[in-house]
Structure 1
Amino acid sequence: MSAERTREPGELFGPRMTLFADVLSVGLATSVACLPLLTAPAALSSACAVLRGVRQGRPATAGRYVEVLRSRLRVGDLAAGAVALAGALLCVADLALAGAGLPGAALFAVVAGAIGIGALVVGLRACARPESLTDWPAAVRGAARDVVRDPGGCGLVLLAVATAALCAWMLVPLAFLAPGPLALALTAVDVRSVGASGSGP
C-alpha cells in the first residue's frame, strides 16, 4: 500500500477508516449489481479491480465502481455469469439427488461437495485477478494455477466466504455489505500470491 497520508483538516477519520467506509460502499454497489445473477462475476471482479487500485492511489468509491462496471457488461462477462449460475444450479441439483437416498449417495455427496468447493475457490480467485477485466479464460487458468501453487491462499478464500456467510446469516442487512469485505479479502489474497511468487527463485 502507499504511504499513509496525514488526516486532512476537518476529516473525521483517518485513512484506514476511510478505506473501510469505501469498502462498505463498494460492497453495497456490488450487491445491487449482482441482483441479475448473470452479472455477479463481473460485479465482483469490478469490485476487486477498484480495491486493487487503492495501491496506486486511485479512489475506491462507489462512483468509481460504477464507472468500471459500466465497461464490463460485455458478452464474455455475461457468458461467465451464465457458466457460474449453471455450475451453482448443477451443484445444488446434485446435492439434492444425493439427499434423496440413492445408492452411494453419501460418497456422491462428498465428491459433489468437493468439486463444488473447488470450483467456487477457482471462480473467486479468477474474479480477483486483473485478467478478469478483459479475458475470463486467462483469469480462470491463472486462478487454477494459483489453487495448486498457493493452498494457503485457498484456505483464506474459504475463510473469507465463511465469514461473509456467517455475517449475513447473523444479521440479514449485512448481506448487502458483505461483497465489499469479501472482494477486499480476495484482492489481498491475490496480491499476497503475486508477491510470494515474485519473491521466489
Structure 2
Amino acid sequence: MSGMRTREAGEVFGPRMTLFADVLSVGLATTAACLPLLTAPAALSTACAVLRGAGEDRPATAGRYFALLRRRLRTGDLAAGAMALTGALLFAADLALAGAGLPGAALFATVAAAIGATAVVVAVRACGRPESLTDWPAAVRGAARDAVRDPGGSALALLAVATAALCAWMLVPLAFLAPGPLALALTAVDVRLAGRTDGATAAPTRPPAR
C-alpha cells in the first residue's frame, strides 16, 4: 500500500484518511456478510482481498466488496464456515468442561488454549492469503507454513484478533467496525511476508571468494 497517490491540490483529506474511511466501510460490509455465520471465513477473506487491491489503485469500497463476495460464494466457502463454526463450538465446550472442576482441568485448559490460539492464527492467516479466494485447502496449508516460518507475523495476527475482540467487548458498536481493521492487519501481515520473501529471492548472490 506504499503506492498511494499524494494529496491533490484543494483536496481536503489525504489518501490515508480515504483509506481509513474505506476500511471502516469494508468493515461494516464484512459484519453484515458474517451474520449467517457460515459465510464468516469468506467474508473476512473477501475483505482482505479488497483491501489488498487498494495498494494496486483499485477501489476499496463496500460496493466492490459485495460484488466480489457474490462472485465467489460457493460450496467450499460454506464448508470452511461450517468447519470454523464447529471448531469454535468444540473449543467453547472444552473450556466449559475445564471450568467444571474436573481433575487436571488447569492443564487441560492450558493445552486447549494453546491449540485454540494456534488454530486461530492459521485460520486468520489463511483468510489473509490470496489463495483463499479460490482454494481454501491451499490457503490453509500456506498459512500453516507461514505460522511456523514467520512467528512474528503470527504474533501480530493473534494480537490483531485479540484487539478486535477487546474493542468489541469494551464498546459494542465497535464490533460492527472491527472486521475492517482486522482485515487490514491480516493483509499487511501477508504483504509483509510476501515482500520479505520476494526481496530475499531477488537479492543477488555473492560470488565465491577466490
TM-score of the two chains, using structure 2 as the length reference:
0.92
Partner of 1:24: 24
Partner of 1:162: 162
Report the count of equivalent residues.
201
| Cα RMSD for the two superposed structures | 1.2
> Partners in 2 of 1:149 and 1:102 — Cα distance?
36
Three-state SS of the structure 1 residue aligned to 2:37 is: coil
Say yes or no: does 1:34 pair with 2:43. no
Three-state SS of the structure 2 residue aligned to 1:199 is: helix
The 8 Å contact of residues 50 and 64 in structure 1, kept in 2 or not, is answered as yes
Work out which of the two has the higher radius of gyration on C-alpha atoms and give 1 or 2. 2
CA deviation map 1:122-160 (0-9, x unaligned): 000000000000000000000000000000001101111
> Partners in 2 of 1:122 and 1:96 — Cα distance?
23
CA deviation map 1:68-127 (0-9, x unaligned): 111121000000000000000000000101111111111111111111110000000000
Calculate percent identity across the aligned residue pairs.
80
Partner of 1:149: 149
Q: 2:22 is aligned with what amino acid?
A: D
Partner of 2:188: 188
Give structure 2 stretches of 5+ with no counterpart.
202-210
The 8 Å contact of residues 41 and 77 in structure 1, kept in 2 or not, is answered as yes
CA deviation map 1:22-46 (0-9, x unaligned): 0000000000000000000000000
More deviation, 165-174/52-61: 165-174
> Partners in 2 of 1:84 and 1:4 — Cα distance?
35
> Partners in 1 of 2:58 and 2:28 — Cα distance?
19
> Partners in 2 of 1:27 and 1:156 — Cα distance?
19
Partner of 2:120: 120
Say yes or no: does 1:103 pair with 2:100. no
**Cα pair distance change 1:3/1:112, threshold 3 Å:** closer
Q: 2:32 is aligned with what amino acid?
A: V
**Cα pair distance change 1:3/1:129, threshold 3 Å:** closer
Three-state SS of the structure 1 residue aligned to 2:143 is: helix
Q: 2:126 is aligned with what amino acid?
A: A
The 8 Å contact of residues 47 and 180 in structure 1, kept in 2 or not, is answered as yes
> Superposition pairs for residues 82-101 of structure 1, below 5 Å?
82-101=82-101
> Partners in 1 of 2:5 and 2:146 — Cα distance?
33
Q: CA deviation at 1:9?
A: 5.5
> Partners in 1 of 2:118 and 2:18 — Cα distance?
34
> Partners in 2 of 1:63 and 1:11 — Cα distance?
23
The 8 Å contact of residues 24 and 181 in structure 1, kept in 2 or not, is answered as yes
> Partners in 2 of 1:88 and 1:4 — Cα distance?
38
> Partners in 1 of 2:6 and 2:200 — Cα distance?
34
Give structure 1 stretches of 5+ with no counterpart.
none
Q: 1:6 is aligned with what amino acid?
A: T
> Partners in 2 of 1:12 and 1:67 — Cα distance?
29
